[in-house]
A and B are shown apart, each in its own frame.
Chain A
Amino acid sequence: MGSREKILSAIRQSKPEAVELETGPYTPERTGDLVGSFAATLESIGGRCTVLDDRIALEAFLAEEGQKGARMVNGIKATPGYNLEAVRSSEARELESVQVAILQGELGVAENGAIWVTEEALGHRILPFITQGLVLVLAQSRIVATMHDAYEQLAVDEPGYGVFIAGPSKTADIEQSLVIGAHGPVAMQVLILKDQ
């Protein structure tokens, strides 16, 4: 008998009587000021949140970042300077010098400041981790209240890889002193684009 069969048969011999799992339809608990609570939560975990009025403001932000001269990846489709495609076939090491990556978020969660991002929008899976600074752009209408709402709306297995990102990377492993910037970005900002 192989290990697979050994384990499965051991489970069959030792598992308890079937315990039913009642699953009613899910109804959201609360709504309210989702942008406000998203922003407040994100700031409390070390991220920055800026609300932009329209795409003109977004393009102005991108232009300003671009003028700083640091290596930047712009992953916001249909904007001047979009250069995500070049990243798709890169080796991880080639992305080490990226100073700022500006990427499109799919869904934001007000209760914890997390944003769901998929590999299509990341260009390369390592990009949001290896970059020194990360900026995620999110449509205001794409903010939900809780993680339950998020999983209701997402097909998490559609992309081969997807990730909830909540703030900059951090650690408190030395005497519980919080240090922003562990292995991933040392700074993280979210741009919320107002609904038109």
Chain B
Amino acid sequence: MMPIVKEHSPAAEQFLQDAKRARWHDETLWFVRAKRDKAAHSLPGWEALREQASRIKAHTLSRLDDYLVEFETRAQENGVRVHWAVDGEEHNRIVHALLKANGVKAVVKSKSMLTEECGLNHYLRDKGIEVVDTDLGEYIVQLREEQPSHIVLPAIHLKKEEVSATFHQHLHTEKGNNDATYLTRAARKVLRDKFLSADAAITGVNFAVAQTGGIVVCTNEGNADMGVHAAKLHIASMGIEKIIPKASHLGVFLRLLARSATGQPITTYSSHFHRPAPGQQLHVVLVDNGRTRQLAREEFRNSLKCIRCGACFNTCPVYRRSGGHSYHNSVAGPIGSILAPNGDMRANADLPFASTLCGSCTHVCPVKINIHEQLWTWRQILMKEGLAPASKKIGIRLMAGVLSSPALYRMGGKMARWVLHVAPSMAKNRLNPWFKQREMPEAPKESFIEWYQKRGKNGK
């Protein structure tokens, strides 16, 4: 396993050392982005749909308290137990207490970025409860004791040879059999047994409907449903921003979600849970964990509209070339780089700089979050707070001095041109961070001012 580097830029450098893999990662995610484009362009009224989704979310955030209470009331009427957790720690305690009260020893869990955010797996494991992640990608990374590197494609950082070796070690599959169907079938067999023997199932929530008190869970594999319907206890964990006012709004969001994520017209399963099955318990845990803080930050409030489709990851030139683990956060990519500093500004001060600010993320976002503008805003805040990376602080201070003095500016330009012509190795070396992964520009012989003044003298 690669050592974990806690800062994006050096971690990306490590990722890029395997040039072949980095290229594959880049091209594969771009292919997913292309599928998204095809799906979006073939749907009449796509842009209007994005606008509608964005407005529904804006409205919901402005009345979030009302809708949460409405959801709670309806859900309770439906026989669903609703819990509230201010942070990840409380969420984990609630989940553990429910499992303990029901004598649960083994849990199956479908994809939930929130439980990753809360560190639930480790918490439960420490209490002696087995948790099996059942999404195939998450199962693979769990066996390898890694984190998901993408919210929709958790094992996109791995090659089939590695999956094969992992399965050979843990599931005793044939050594060197790298066939994706063979490997998937092997996991299917093992996980079917886990589903049927687990005492409880934990799922995430894609949407919760205030009007009906129901939750919707979307998967392609069918793993959430296999777990839930076989167990006596279903616990669904959700961030408070997952609420939408009405069932009819599901039409808007389900049309956008899978098309944005993978280019599919819809996920294979969109399961609507309103009441527990006879003899079953259904619990929903509503989690804040920093979301109300983000709601208070006016310039970042929109990030709470996110429906976790991953489109901004797939399109991002930095994500594609640095891999999800470089972001050292449960949600990576452009949106993760906005959410992470809200949680811990100091630990995640590097992430808003892991972007070219090209704006591609903003253009593909199905709920129209102004992602690249928020990244830029975070940079300004981090500079003011003195949390920006040291190299950037020194560089920017130097630039500010040079740009505010015309004499210094002219002299600096002259020196740079001279260096690039006479002794290019002085600029093209490892000590110049700009030269890493880049070519230095061709230097012109003279500056614009020099050319202009000469032109004036020659009288043309």
Q: Which residues of A contact B (CB under 8 A)?
A: 2-4, 6-8, 10-21, 26, 29-30, 41, 45, 92-93, 96, 109, 111-114, 119, 124-126, 129-130, 146-148, 150-152, 156-157, 159-177, 179, 181-185
Chain A minimum-CB-distance residue to B259: A112
Once A and B bind, how many residue pairs between them come within 8 Å at the CB atom? 243
B214: chain A residues within 8 A (beta carbon): 156-157
Q: In the bound complex, how far is the Cα of B273 from the Cα of A10, in angstroms?
A: 28
Q: Which residue of A lies closest to B274 (CB)?
A: A157
Q: Say whether B273 contacts A12, CB under 8 Å.
A: no
**Do B153 and A173 have beta carbons less than 8 Å apart?**
yes
- A157 close to B213 (CB less than 8 A): yes
Q: Is B55's CB under 8 angstroms from A21's CB? A: yes
- Residue interface mask B264-277, A partner, CB < 8 A = 1: 11111111111111
With most chain A CB atoms within 10 A of its CB, the pick from B137, B153, B221, B245 is B221
Contacts known (A3-B90, A15-B63, A176-B156); A183 close to B292, Cβ less than 8 A? no
Near A by CB (< 8 A), chain B positions 15-39 give: 28, 31-32
Docked Cα-Cα span, A78 to B62, in Å, equals 51
List residues of chain B with CB within 8 A of the CB of A124: 229
> A111: nearest residue on chain B (CB-CB)?
B265
Stretch in B294-302, B429-437, B443-451 touching the partner: B294-302
- Known A-B contacts A15-B295, A161-B275; the reply to A20 vs B137 at CB < 8 A is no
Q: What are the 3 tightest A-B residue pairs by CB atom distance, in nearest-first order? A: A184-B222, A14-B296, A160-B275
Task: Give the distance in Å from the alpha carbon of A119 to the alpha carbon of B288 in the complex.
Answer: 32
Give A15 to B201 CA distance when docked, in angstroms: 33
28 contacting pairs across A/B (C-beta < 8 A)? A2-B84, A4-B84, A7-B84, A7-B288, A8-B68, A11-B240, A13-B296, A14-B292, A14-B296, A19-B61, A30-B44, A45-B264, A96-B192, A129-B269, A148-B255, A151-B247, A151-B248, A156-B274, A170-B221, A171-B184, A172-B153, A175-B163, A177-B180, A182-B136, A182-B220, A183-B221, A183-B226, A184-B226
B292's closest neighbor in chain A, by CB? Answer: A10
**CB distance A7 to B255 under 8 Å?**
no
In the complex the two chains form, what is the Cα distance from A105 to B30 in whole Å?
A: 36
- Chain B residues with CB below 8 A from A112, complex form: 255, 265-266
Could you tell me the distance in whole angstroms from the C-beta of B389 to the nearest C-beta in chain A? Answer: 30
Counting chain B CB atoms within 10 Å of each CB, which of A112, A114, A161, A182 scores highest?
A: A182
B260 CB within 8 Å of chain A = no
| Distance in Å: Cβ of A130 to nearest Cβ of chain B | 7
B264 to chain A, nearest CB (A): 7
Shortest beta-carbon distance from B149 to chain A in Å: 12
B105 at the interface (CB under 8 A from A): no
Residue of A nearest to B249 (CB): A151
Is B143 engaged at the interface, CB distance under 8 Å to the other chain?
no
Complexed CA–CA distance, A30 and B43 (Å): 12
Q: How large is the interface on B (under 10, 10 to 19, 20 to 34, 35 or more residues)?
A: 35 or more
In contact, A162 and B272 (Cβ under 8 angstroms): yes
Chain B residues near A156: list those with CB within 8 A. 209, 212, 214, 247, 250, 272, 274
The chain B residues found within 8 Å of chain A, CB to CB, are: 28, 31-32, 43-45, 55-56, 58-59, 61-65, 68-69, 78, 84-86, 90, 134-137, 140, 153-156, 158-160, 163, 180-181, 183-185, 188, 191-192, 195-196, 209, 212-214, 220-223, 225-226, 228-230, 240, 245, 247-248, 250-252, 254-255, 262, 264-277, 286, 288, 292-293, 295-296, 298, 301
Which of A7, A21, A165 touches B269 (beta carbons < 8 Å)?
Answer: A165
A91 CB to nearest chain B CB (Å):
9
| Cβ contacts under 8 Å, A163 to chain B | 225, 269-272
Name the one of B84, B270, B272 contacting A114, with C-beta atoms under 8 angstroms: B270
Closest chain B residue, CB of each to CB of A180 = B181
Cβ-defined partner of B248 (8 Å) among A109, A148, A183: A148
Taking CB atoms, residues of chain A closer than 8 Å to B229 are 92, 124-126, 129
**Supplied contacts A114-B270, A163-B270, A173-B184, 16 more A-B pairs, CB within 8 Å:** A10-B296, A13-B296, A15-B62, A15-B295, A19-B58, A124-B229, A148-B251, A157-B212, A166-B270, A170-B220, A174-B140, A179-B181, A182-B188, A183-B195, A183-B222, A183-B226
Roughly how many angstroms separate A183 CA and B228 CA in the complex, as a whole number? 13
Chain A residue with Cβ nearest B160 = A175
In whole Å, how far is A106's beta carbon from the nearest beta carbon of chain B? 12
Q: Which B-chain residue is minimally distant from A169 (CB atoms)?
A: B222
Min Cβ gap B212→A in Å is 4
Asked if residues B65 and A8 are in contact (CB atoms below 8 Å), the reply is: yes
How far is A113 from B62 in the complex, measured between Cα atoms in Å?
35
Chain B positions within 8 Å of A2 at CB level: 84
Nearest Cβ on chain A to B215's Cβ, whole angstroms: 11
Chain B residue nearest to A157 (CB atoms) is: B212
Report whether B274 and A174 are in contact in the complex, using a CB–CB cutoff of 8 Å. no
